[in-house]
Chain A
Amino acid sequence: MSAYIAKRLLAAIPVLFGLTIIVFLIMAMIPGDPATAILGSYATPENVERLTRQLGLDKPLWQQYFIWLGNMLQGDFGRSYTLNRPVIDEVLERFSATLILAGTSLLLCSVFGLIAGVVSAVRQYSWVDKTVTFVVLVGISVPSFWLGLLLILVFAVNLKWFPASGMYAIYGGGDLPDLLKHLFLPAITLAVVATGVIARLTRTAMLEVLRQDFIRTARAKGVTENKVIYKHAFKAALVTVIPVIGIQAGFVLGGAVYIETVFQWPGIGSMLVKAISTRDLLLVQGGVLVVAAAYVLFNLAADVVQTILDPRLR
């Protein structure tokens, strides 16, 4: 199995290179002079010229890519002109906040999605199933940024159960209970869509599995129905659901952009939105690359979990 994991890790490398190529190509689409765009409109001509030389902007595109990639691999993501600090420092600092939010959401949507899907399948066509199905549809149709606002109105403004924004209280906060209190609303909001998708898929997977021959065998052995469903069928269904959870990681990481903005969570998403409106392109580039790489790793982790569960893949 470790050989397989190593193989998957190696296979992730070209994907990571693919990411850099796409980000590079997008950056190459910058209208006008990239150096000016990167340094902002108040840049001195000397600085612009220095950056042009440094990035090799006078060279052909493919050479520019390798210069650019070389800088990245050395951890040099450039300098944010709005924050006046290295991009990599800002991005990594922000990323830990995003990871807390997205990680919690991913955990929530996996747990609730799986439970809802299994219950829905086991009680197929019952009112529970119909309710779950409908709620799931609402969940995947609701704009998450709007849902966030509603939750703030109800739970923060009216009921005052949770704070409306931020990651820690400004005065006296900073401990874990404080973090959890701040985390609750944004994590729930961010998890809603993915929960719906996972619940839907789990339901279908369970229904398909419960028709399989090996389920009949389990019943023929005299295994209790609970074991048939929650051990035999669930494990087989999980194998098809796990990769989808990996894909949902991408939607959760992307959705964090809205949720962090709504809840003023100091993560990479709110940083990106600010960076885009101030045209701080190096910051955007750094943020996008780091989140995309994290997504690749999430998917890799899903692959590994799937391999552990399914011996046929080894």
Chain B
Amino acid sequence: MAEATSTAIKPVKRASSGRPNTLALLLNNTLATAGLVVFGLIVLIALAAPLLPLPDPDVTAPANRLFRPLTEGHLLGTDALGRDILSRLIWGTRVSLLVGISATLIAAFFGSLIGLVAGYAGGRVDTLLMRGIDMVMAFPYILLALAIVAVLGPGLLNALYAIAVVNIPFFARNIRGIALGLSRREFVDAARLSGKSNAQILFIEVLPNVLPVIIITMSTTIGWMILETAGLSFLGLGAQPPQADLGSMLGDGRKILFTAPHVSIIPGLMIFALVMSINLLGDGVRDVLDPRLKSGALTRPVARTAVTRENAPQDMTPVAGAILDVRGLKTEFRFGGQVYKAVGGVDMAVRRGECLGIVGESGSGKSVSAMSIMGLVPTPPGSITGGVALLKGEDLFAASDERIRQLRGSAVSHVFQDPLSTLHPLFTVGDQLVEAIQAHDPVSKTQAREKAIDLLTMVRIPNPAERLKSYPHELSGGMRQRVCIAMALAHDAQIIIADEPTTALDVTVQAQVLSLMNTLRKEHDAGILFITHDFGVVSAICDRVAVMYAGQFVETGTTEEILSAPAHPYTAKLIDCVPVLGQPDRRLDAIEGRPPVVNNLPVGCAFAARCPRAQEDCRAAPIPLTEFGEGRTVRCIHPLTGETTDV
């Protein structure tokens, strides 16, 4: 029984369904490992060049010119001057690596220095330095390098300087950002107070902290720098004969591309292998370090929550008069091998024109319960593992995706918490309303627009025709939420699922929106499932209330009964947190302790640890939900009402 809460609001922890992600991670790792091996091998061979039994790379032998690869004595053949390509390749790789690494180091040194000083000094120094950097970045990268080489004259060293200079901005910008943050931190203040000089602080306190960023930037730019220096050499602007790097070998070979392609293809392949291995390695490292990848925040949720219940419940006769009847609902999240039972068996029924409130702390599973009904819990990581949701007798968890799409926004509509983030920022309010109308009603755009105006009038928005042209950010919070409510009413919904619709609004607006919803549900005879953490809101709109804790209902009943005579100690505590109706900064976490951990719930009552009335027997076994009056249930063996023997 005892089940659990989870991160109900943000169930975005770790990409799940374990397998594909693990596989992807493994694949990434394999590729990164391959990159490391190839790169290591190339570096090793390049380092060992003087020790290897190679012919002199610069000795020409006109008689042996343009041998094909796999010729006796010349594994990769010879070039136009009869020089051994293998030997030239290895020596050329040495030069390319050396130049690439040197350019990286120079760029890293000067770029980091500029970034550190700009970030640490701030103010005018920062502005001046960063404006300069911006100007350099306003150039197409290679072009600036070309200009520098043009002025200094072709040559490997000049090419190296040019490539280093054009890469300085990448380091300067990255490092400056970090240094700026660090220079505001306490340990820097402490160092300053202890009388250290700026230079001391910069190099002893700040530098060690930005070092990882410098190294990461180096690992991402070194591939580029090798590629670009090779490019300059290819153009004849870098290495000059007799010296050769991979780029100049490729450039030389180009002249005889049609007759002896291997002379240019081989060094190009080497550059490619070198850069590819570095990039693979860099990507692997980045994947491991990127917190977004670790958190699964970059895993795409599918259109509808996965349903993985073993078998549907047998009894499918809905509760009398209920439009929506949910029974035994279980929803889980899986992150990294852990199962978080966000909803652990919930029953609820909503009748026409009735408002059922679900109340609980954040993380109690109330939002997940509500979002499960129309499959709006993100999968991955969420999935519905049990229970049934009947909409006028139709099992929603067994319905097709297309059927669910048809019901969403028509029979069942939603109003969400923060109307700024729930409306699309790039479409006008009118477009979004029209879309909602046309999603289920094949009317023309003009007709839909007229209906949209009617809807806005209905939710008491002045100048509706004008407002249609507004973007969400141009409206106030209350206006936006009215738009959302109008959208929910576009198709005469029988059930409106409202997930904390007033939480993001200030108190006066909150009251207006509540009274609007109340009026509208009576006019339209629609049932509302109202999620909130606020008993003040509950008393304003709900007919019946279910109190939720750790993924389960702990008490249900009419609003009046629950407010006047709460039976569960948790309900009583929650109500105690609401001193006066309409006070804006009521907090629910005034209850001592914290809700139990999501994936590891106690056997007995989940609230026992925080309950002043808890006894031994509370912790021994799961507590059933027991009925103790007309429509009143409580999950407590020592309830507050009808107290007899205990406490």
Contact = CB atoms under 8 A, between A and B. Distances in A.
Given A143-B230, A149-B268, A219-B408, A211 B297 contact: yes
Contact of A146 (B272, B374, B436): B272
B90 interface: no
B151 A207 contact: no
B109 interface: no
A222 B235 contact: no
A106 interface: no
Given A137-B276, A217-B416, A261 B138 contact: no
Contacts of B416: 213, 216-217, 220
B512 interface: no
Contact of A254 (B140, B268, B436, B484): B140
Interface string B147-168: 1111111100000000000000
Contacts of B149: 276
Contact of A277 (B143, B237, B265, B406): B237
A276 B237 contact: yes
A61 interface: no
B484 to A, nearest CB: 8
Nearest to B280: A137
B138 A295 contact: yes
Given A125-B21, A236-B424, A310-B426, A19 B135 contact: yes
A254 B413 contact: no
B464 to A, nearest CB: 19
A157 interface: yes
Contacts of B67: none
Contacts of A18: 131, 134-135, 138
Nearest to B283: A137
A207 B143 contact: no
A30 B231 contact: no
B509 interface: no
B414 A220 contact: yes
A257 B24 contact: no
A221 B135 contact: no
B250 A146 contact: yes
Interface of A: 15, 18-19, 21-23, 26-27, 29-31, 121-122, 124-125, 130, 134, 137-138, 140-143, 145-146, 149-150, 152-153, 157, 204, 206-208, 210-214, 216-225, 227-228, 232, 235-236, 239, 249-251, 253-255, 257-258, 261-262, 272-273, 275-277, 279, 281, 284-285, 288, 291-292, 295-296, 309-312
Contact of A250 (B24, B140, B237, B436): B140
A288 B151 contact: no
Contacts of A130: 24, 27
Contacts of A219: 303-304, 376, 408
Interface in B104-141: 131, 134-136, 138-141
Given A142-B272, A222-B410, A258-B231, A292 B424 contact: no
Nearest to A142: B272
A32 to B, nearest CB: 10
Contacts of B230: 143
Contact of B265 (A29, A150, A223): A150
A210 B296 CA distance: 13
B471 interface: yes
A211 B12 contact: yes
A252 to B, nearest CB: 8
B237 A222 contact: no
A222 B424 contact: no
A124 B435 contact: no
B439 A222 contact: yes
Choose among B23, B152, B265, B268 the residue with the greatest number of A CB atoms under 10 Å from its CB. B268
Contact of B276 (A19, A124, A141, A224): A141
Contacts of B300: 121-122, 124, 206-207, 210-211
Given A213-B416, A239-B426, A251-B141, A125 B435 contact: no
B148 A312 contact: no
Nearest to A250: B140
Contact of B423 (A134, A141, A217): A217
Given A212-B421, A239-B426, A288 B298 contact: no
Contact of A141 (B154, B279, B406): B279
Interface stretch (B80-88, B254-262, B455-463, B515-523): B254-262
25 contacts: A15-B138, A19-B135, A124-B300, A130-B24, A130-B27, A142-B272, A143-B271, A149-B265, A153-B258, A211-B12, A214-B423, A219-B303, A220-B413, A222-B405, A222-B406, A222-B408, A225-B405, A249-B140, A258-B235, A262-B254, A272-B146, A281-B150, A284-B150, A292-B139, A311-B425
Interface residues of B, number: 89
B423 A140 contact: no
Contacts of A217: 414, 416, 422-424, 484
Given A26-B151, A204-B298, A312-B473, A221 B237 contact: no
A143 B272 contact: yes
Contacts of B426: 235-236, 239, 309-311
Nearest to B258: A157
A223 B151 contact: no
Interface string B484-524: 10010000000000000000000000000000000000000
Contacts of B526: none
Nearest to A252: B140
B146 A288 contact: yes
B435 A145 contact: no
B362 interface: no
Contacts of A211: 12, 297, 300-301, 378
B21 to A, nearest CB: 7
Tell me what chain B mostly uses at the interface: helix, strand, loop, or mixed.
helix
B310 to A, nearest CB: 26
Contacts of B227: 141, 143
Contacts of A273: 146, 235-237
Contact of A253 (B20, B140, B407): B140
A207 B295 CA distance: 13
Top 5 nearest A-B pairs by Cβ distance? A146-B268, A254-B142, A222-B409, A18-B135, A250-B140
B425 A310 contact: yes
Contacts of A121: 300
B618 interface: no
Nearest to B413: A220
Given A310-B425, A310-B426, A311-B471, A15 B135 contact: yes
B345 interface: no
Given A140-B279, A210-B300, A311-B426, A149 B439 contact: no
Contacts of B409: 220-223
A214 B264 contact: no
Nearest to A249: B140
A291 B258 CA distance: 32
A250 B422 CA distance: 36
B440 interface: yes
A234 to B, nearest CB: 10
Nearest to B375: A219
B150 A275 contact: yes
Given A26-B151, A141-B272, A292 B138 contact: yes
B146 A221 contact: no
A227 B150 CA distance: 52
B234 interface: yes
A288 B138 CA distance: 12
A152 B142 contact: no
A295 B140 contact: yes
B299 interface: yes
A19 B303 CA distance: 49
A263 B194 CA distance: 64
Contact of B235 (A31, A140, A261): A261
Contacts of A222: 405-410, 436, 439-440
B140 A251 contact: yes
A121 B35 CA distance: 24
